[in-house]
Amino acid sequence: MYQVGELVSYGSTGVCRVSEIINQTCPDGEERLYYVMQPLYKACVISVPVDSDKVFIRPIITRDEADRLIGLIPTMDCPAFHSRVSRELNEHYTTLLKSYSCQNWMEMTISIHTKKQWLLSRKRKFGSVDERYLKQAEELLFGELAAALDIPKEEVREYIGAKLESLKAS
């Protein structure tokens, strides 16, 4: 069970802080424990049963895990996924997003950026499906990295760049 104040990754919402754990009476009269959570990057409050298995919830990664993941970037092989069938693109990207893995989100963003550069270098249009999923993956990834590293989300891209530069130098 998570504790009040703990940061968790909650489904497609991203990083949330557990603000309360409350007893609530359900319509059937049964008492259940609920997490009351506040997303760090959205203005809302979420209430979810502690024992729910409908939405994925896990602790966020640690600072060391975030730095280790960033350090893996130069060794990652993230080929672009190409398909003219938007359903296939949707399925591919949805599977990666729903893995709820920072490493998969990292590989997905690198892959889509690779695809974008390849298309733009050939003066071809970058697709809206790719653009939408790139934005979703970056939101989830950068939100979790920001929380783990205790920096503003807007500084994550710069932090990654600086970390990669220091790795090159050493």
Residues 40-53 have pLDDT tens digits of 999 999 999 999 88
Q: What is the pLDDT of residue 99?
A: 95
Q: What is the pLDDT of residue 68?
A: 96
CA dihedral over 40, 45, 50, 55, signed as positive or negative? negative
Q: What is the pLDDT of residue 102?
A: 97
Residues 3-15 have pLDDT tens digits of 999 999 999 999 9
168 falls in which pLDDT band (50, 70, 90)? confident
Residues 84-116 have pLDDT tens digits of 898 999 999 999 999 999 999 999 999 999 999
Can you give the three-state secondary structure of the chain, one letter per residue? CCCCCCEEEECCCEEEEEEEEEEEECCCCCEEEEEEEEECCCCCCEEEECCCCCCCEEECCCHHHHHHHHHHHHHCCCCCCCCCCHHHHHHHHHHHHCCCCHHHHHHHHHHHHHHHHHHHHCCCCCCHHHHHHHHHHHHHHHHHHHHHHCCCHHHHHHHHHHHHHHHHHC
55 falls in which pLDDT band (50, 70, 90)? confident
What is the chain's mean pLDDT, rounded?
Answer: 94
17: pLDDT strictly greater than 90 = yes
Fold of 63-169: Methane Monooxygenase Hydroxylase; Chain G, domain 1 (1.20.58)
62 falls in which pLDDT band (50, 70, 90)? very high
Distance of CA 70 to the CA centre of its chain: 14
Strand ranges across the sheet with 14-25: 46-49, 31-39, 14-25, 7-10, 57-59
153: pLDDT strictly greater than 90 = yes
- What's the predicted TM-score (pTM) here? 0.92
Phi and psi of 99, rounded to 5°? -75, -20
Domain boundaries, the chain: 7-59, 63-169
